[in-house]
Each structure stands twice: as C-alpha cells, then as structure tokens.
C-alpha cells in the first residue's frame, strides 16, 4: 500500500510516496482505512531525522504522522467500542513505516474512538494528538477553577485547544497573539490577550502583577516565559524543557505518548468537539503525494489551523 515517507532523512523534498507492507492485526487492535492525516511540527522533526536515535526501526522507509482519521476495516479480539464501517480518529506513535501518513493503519484499540458527530475525517484528524497534549498539560498543572493560566502560542493548534479546555475547566486565561491573531484568540475564549514576543512575560505581569498560577508554553519560549509565573507555580512545556530550578516552579514536560492509549480522555475530547467546546480548525488539505509541499508550508510559519493530507 502507499504511504508518504522518507527513505533518507532531509528537508521537505525528501518526502515521497513509498510502498509499505500491511501491518498484522492483533487482539485489542483496530485496522482503519486512512482518509486523512494531520501534518504537525513533530512530523517535520521526524522527517529530518531528529528522532532517528530513539526509533528502534533503523531501516527505511520512515513514515511520519501522529493523527489519522478514516473508517474501521476490521477489529481484533476484545474490541467492542468500534466496529467495521465506523468513522473513527486515532493517535499514532510513529516507528519506522508505522505512522499516520499511510493508507492502511493498525492501532491499539484504546487509541481509537469515533469521530465527533457531524465531522468529516479531515476535521476529525486534527483533534487526537494536539487535543490529548493540551488535556495532559492541564491535568499535569492541576489548576483549580478561578486560577489564572497563561498560554503562549495561543493561535496554534496546541495553544488553541489549551485555551478552550482551560475555559471549560473554569480557569481565567491570559494568552498571547500577534495583532492579526488577536480576534481569533479572543474567539477561542481568552479573557486577556497580550502581544506575543520575547517580552511576553512582562506583558502578562502588567495584567497579573503577582504572576499567573500556571503557564502552557506552546510557543516553546522556555526560560523567557518563566518570569510570568508566580513562585511555586506550574509550567507545562512541549519540547522537553525542564526549567531552571528557580523559585520552586513546577515544570512538566508534556509527552503525549504517555496518554496515547487513554481512550476515555480521547472520547471526552470527541464529546467536547460535538458540544462546541472545541473548535476543529483546518487550514488546507493536500493529497498525500504532495506531503512535501505541506511540510514546506508549515515550516514557513504562520499557518493557522492544521494542514491535512488526504488519501
């Protein structure tokens, strides 16, 4: 079957269609025909070889992709929450040729749930990985209703989901945005919007002089944003940053692999999308054969919503 992958790590031009074998279906697993796979920044790192050292598979091809949506083809023994013919979405932990950018994919059953009602595969594919990452970030920080959360990169997929989920949790949200993104970030639910940039911590402190209770750093500013948080506050990071040990800050690297089989959490996200709590944002679609063009566009920056490959 076809997949979009690389046989040599490199730039966007390294992505091309490759042939990959069928994956066997085991107990507790689901096979789906993939209709859509979201393009995320982590996919560009995988394509370039940034994760090659931790991938147990050392032979090409390597297929990126952490989100997929499509139709169930068959289920393994013990799977009863989805059935052949159901429209589903799932989170993928890539390894070797096992990634979201392929026509046919086998996933653990607990990584797969139905798509939100009334949602097509393209929109549904944008929810699993970023939604679960946002949910995990909030769960790790464990803020209480009424506390204040700052969100950087609020116009992005992770940041946008954090804003919406935080508001649903009863938090006050201060978020950053460029002038062109301010309306979007307010629509997502931010109570206070400050200009993005290297001085965002100062801008946040202007509104909350004692500092915020927690911060989700979607823009990966790491040490630059720590001054926004009060002593002993919580920080969720998305690229492994662990803080500088100062002021009793509790820093939580947010690794979505930890919750890739948390079916209850994924299904709750599905319900929240159905209820209008979460907004599924698609920027543009590309046929899988043009995956390299999607990666090139994403790396240029400024994309609002997700780029999605279609099969």
pLDDT band at 243 (very low <50, low <70, confident <90, very high): confident
Q: Are residues 135 and 81 in the same domain?
A: no
Residue 47 lies in a domain: yes
| CATH number of 151's domain | 3.40.50.720
| Mean pLDDT computed over every residue of the chain | 97
Helix (H, G, I), strand (E, B) or coil at 276: coil
pLDDT at position 58, please? Answer: 86
Q: Are residues 11 and 105 in the same domain?
A: yes
Number of domains making up the chain:
2
The answer, yes or no, to whether the previous bond of 274 is cis (omega within 30 of 0) is no
Q: Are residues 134 and 253 in the same domain?
A: yes
| CATH number of 50's domain | 3.90.180.10
Q: Are residues 35 and 55 in the same domain?
A: yes
Q: Are residues 171 and 61 in the same domain?
A: no
Residue 58 lies in a domain: yes
Do the bridges between strand 172-177 and strand 192-195 make them parallel or antiparallel, or are there none, so unpaired? Answer: parallel
* pLDDT of residue 274 exceeding 90: yes
Q: For the segment 139-154, what is each residue's pLDDT rounded down to a tens digit? A: 999 999 999 999 999 9
> CB under 8 Å to 58, separation ≥6 — which residues?
none
pLDDT band at 239 (very low <50, low <70, confident <90, very high): confident
Q: Are residues 121 and 154 in the same domain?
A: no
Mean pLDDT of the 79-96 span: 98
Q: Are residues 299 and 237 in the same domain?
A: no
**Selection from 67, 60, 20, 91 nearest residue 265 by Cα:** 91
Residue 265 lies in a domain: no
Q: Are residues 137 and 177 in the same domain?
A: yes
Residue 291 lies in a domain: yes
Q: Are residues 228 and 200 in the same domain?
A: yes
Can you give the residue range of the structural domain that contains 134? 130-257
């Amino acid at each position: 079957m076809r997949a979009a992958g690389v046989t040599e790590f490199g730039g966007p031009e390294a992505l091309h269609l490759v042939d990959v074998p069928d994956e066997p279906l085991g107990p507790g697993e689901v096979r789906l025909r993939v209709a859509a796979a979201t393009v995320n920044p982590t996919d560009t790192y995988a394509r370039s070889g940034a994760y090659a050292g931790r991938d147990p598979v050392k032979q090409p091809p390597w297929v990126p992709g952490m989100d997929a949506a499509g139709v169930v083809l068959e289920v393994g023994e013990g799977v009863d929450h989805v059935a052949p013919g159901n429209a589903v979405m799932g989170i993928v932990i890539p390894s070797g040729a096992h990634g979201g950018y392929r026509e046919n994919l086998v996933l653990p059953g607990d990584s797969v749930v139905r798509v939100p009602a009334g949602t097509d595969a393209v929109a549904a594919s944008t929810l699993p990985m970023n939604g679960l990452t946002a949910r995990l970030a909030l769960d790790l920080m464990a803020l209480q209703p009424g506390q204040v959360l700052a969100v950087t990169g609020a116009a992005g997929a992770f940041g946008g989901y954090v804003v919406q989920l935080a508001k649903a949790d009863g938090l006050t949200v201060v978020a950053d945005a460029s002038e062109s993104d301010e309306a979007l970030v307010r629509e997502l639910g931010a109570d206070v919007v400050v200009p993005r940039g290297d001085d965002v911590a100062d801008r946040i402190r202007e509104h909350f002089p004692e500092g915020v209770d927690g911060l989700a750093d979607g823009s990966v500013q790491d040490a630059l944003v720590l001054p926004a948080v009060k002593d002993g506050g919580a920080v969720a990071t998305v690229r492994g940053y662990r803080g500088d040990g100062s002021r009793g800050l509790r820093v939580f690297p947010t690794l979505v692999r930890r919750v890739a089989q948390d079916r209850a959490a994924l299904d709750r996200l599905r319900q929240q999308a159905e209820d209008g709590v979460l907004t599924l944002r698609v920027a543009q679609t590309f046929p899988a054969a043009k995956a390299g063009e999607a990666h090139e566009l994403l790396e240029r920056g400024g994309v609002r919503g997700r780029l999605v490959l279609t099969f």
